[in-house]
Amino acid sequence: MMRALRLVVLAAGAVLVLFPFLFMISTSLKPQAEVFSAGLSMIPTHWSGWENYTKAFTRIPMGRILLNGLIVCAAIVAFQIVFALPAAYALAKLRFRGRELLFGIVLLGLLVPIHAISIPLYAAARTLGLLNTLAVLIVPFTLSVFAIFLFRQFIKAIPDDLILAARSDGLSEAAIVWRIILPNAWPAASAFAIFSVVAHWNDLYWPLIAISKTQLATPPLGLLFFRAAEAGDDYGALMAATVVITAPLVLFFLFAQRLFIEGMTMTGLKG
């Protein structure tokens, strides 16, 4: 009885969470007149999916926009791991004066949102001539204090004997990081990668400030350009563009959810 009740509650929660996505897909298949009809029907009476999705791919360079999002997210994740892993290793395993103070400063960095430093970032990007380039979307996020914190919690649980054995074999600290720590910290890296990709794929604030060209737009900014091109009233086509932009992120999470759960669980148990 309790099992059936739990399943009912979970099913109700799933329907509640999935309803906006199902409504979005349903709207993307409807003609304009049906979108504004008085009745609410999830199944279109007249199908206009082909027309709406054709508009989504032709009114703006959708393929280029998706590619921009992929390049930006992949580059940010790669740089964040490259910079954060050695820093986390030093804070977790190396003993030096001021280590705890430095870690406290890292934790304070978690409290500083991008909105608080957007003006100096914009001024620096303008001075360096980086505005309206993909670099301006990547460089400000190459260092992640959250990644340092997450990796440190994971690395602290790696036995010191393993690191001592690696040093005895003649490995340098850099070699230990990339040949010993990274393979063992891969679950944490996978979990962080999902956090980072979701955050930067959906980011609109900074691209809206730094990018004004449609060819360089990331998915959320491209959706904004699409709405402007459509005058904001063709909701069937707008929902079709939203589905196209959302689908890669959903597929990525479904593909990586096992690694995400494993990474967060192991990090939580070992932190």
Is the distance from CB of 186 to CB of 85 less than 8 angstroms?
no
Buried b (16+ CB within 10 A) or exposed e, 216-248: bbbbbbbbbbbbeebeeebbbbbbbbbbbbbeb
pTM of the complete model: 0.85
Length of the chain: 271
Max Cα–Cα distance, the chain, nearest Å: 75
At the fourth CATH level, the homologous superfamily of domain 61-270 is: MetI-like (1.10.3720.10)
Tokens representing 126 are 């303008």
* pLDDT band, residue 260 (cuts 50/70/90): low
- Could you give the angle at the alpha carbon of 222 between the alpha carbons of 216 and 226, nearest 5°? 130
For residue 137, the 8-state DSSP code is H
pLDDT tens digit string along 163-206? 889 888 888 889 999 988 988 888 888 888 888 999 999 999 99
- Could you give the angle at the alpha carbon of 173 between the alpha carbons of 142 and 156, nearest 5°? 75
pLDDT tens digit string along 202-223? 999 999 999 999 999 999 999 8
pLDDT tens digit string along 32-73? 778 777 567 777 878 888 999 998 898 889 999 999 999 999
Boundaries of every domain in the chain: 1-47, 61-270
pLDDT tens digit string along 130-160? 999 999 999 999 999 999 998 998 888 888 8
Q: How far apart are CA 102 and CA 189, in angstroms?
A: 22
